[in-house]
Amino acid sequence: MNEFLRQLPKVELHLHIEGSLEPELMFALAARNGIDLPYASVEEAKAAYDFEDLQGFLNLYYQGMNVLRTEQDFYDLAMDYFKRARSEGVLHIDMHFDPQAHLQRGVPLEVVMAGLLRAKDEAEASIDLTVGVIMAFLRDRPAEEALHVLEQAAPYWKFLDAIGLDSAERDNPPAKFQKLFVRAKELGLVRVAHAGEEGPAEYITEALDLLDVQRIDHGVRCLESDEVVKRLRDHQTVLTVCPLSNVSLKVVDQLSDHPLPQLLSEGLKVTISSDDPAYFGGGLLENHIACAQAFGWEADTFRLLNQHAIEEAFVSEGRRQELFKRLTDF
């Protein structure tokens, strides 16, 4: 089954590029930029990738991204993950990135965008990997700041496939960002949001009603509300579920406790992704393998999950049809 899953054409809808920063690359970029890390070795850094909740992870996440300073750094970060993912059978990635996390460190948006877009262009030209671009906003930062950053990003609107909402969900309801998402809709930008990971099922309803999103990132707590489940099923709103992330962040104690099988049995449109692979135990392939082991899923389930992902990916229609054909022919 593992080799089948490696070769299976896969699509990832929920990936934070800053969360793909492996300790080895972190050390290399720190050395290049003359930055001192609080770890003596790669092994020590890996040992520190242990946290109790989302906030604990975010503290590490922001500390790690401090090594990202130049266009080349962002290019190297993205290409490192793109090549690794492609070697594991991934054909498309919708990539979130967090401009505020870099702006508040004094790294200009132009530097971030130049590096990420160069990596996207190179991946699409040379390694048979397409990349969607999602500008995500930090829900634990002021909503006014997010609006300012969106306007500041005007030269790059044409490169964005969507805007998103991520970071610490607890006590940061979707309603806080209604103006931001209304503005994004005016600009013709697609909208997605994290909801129902740490936050309650009501946050999913808020994201749908107030932010008018077409995709719910995570969404596992929808099962706390029959009404929310029915709505997601009736509209076939996609959930980008991140199994190993949910274990790492203690959403569930162990993968065998995960509600993924129930989400599928409820007729919901589910996909699986890695979220922040450097921190949560691996990329899309590792998430597939872990689910096969935990749930005893057969090939047809994994085909269905990736069919859902292809249907919802931010990709040209020509590429979408190509991906469908490759999945069907496999």
What positions carry a catalytic annotation? 197
How many CB atoms within 10 Å of residue 21? 25
| Residues 284, 273 contacting (CB under 8 angstroms) | yes
DSSP secondary structure of 271-328:
EE--BSTTTTT--HHHHHHHHHHHH---HHHHHHHHHHHHHHSSS-HHHHHHHHHHHH
Residue 133, beta-bridge partner list: 95
How many CB atoms within 10 Å of residue 147? 17
Both tokens assigned to 224:
């706390």
Residue 172 DSSP SS3 = coil
Both tokens assigned to 108:
């200009």
Q: What is the DSSP letter of 11?
A: E
How many CB atoms within 10 Å of residue 129? 18
How many CB atoms within 10 Å of residue 125? 9
DSSP H helices, the chain, are 2-7, 23-33, 42-48, 54-64, 71-87, 99-103, 109-126, 143-152, 178-186, 201-210, 226-235, 243-248, 260-265, 284-295, 299-312, 317-329
Residue 95, beta-bridge partner list: 15, 133
- Cβ burial of 294 (10 Å; 0-12, 13-18, 19+) is middle
Q: What is the DSSP letter of 175?
A: G
How many CB atoms within 10 Å of residue 307? 17
Cβ-count burial 241-259 (b if 16+ within 10 Å, e if not) = bbbbbbbbbebeeebeebb
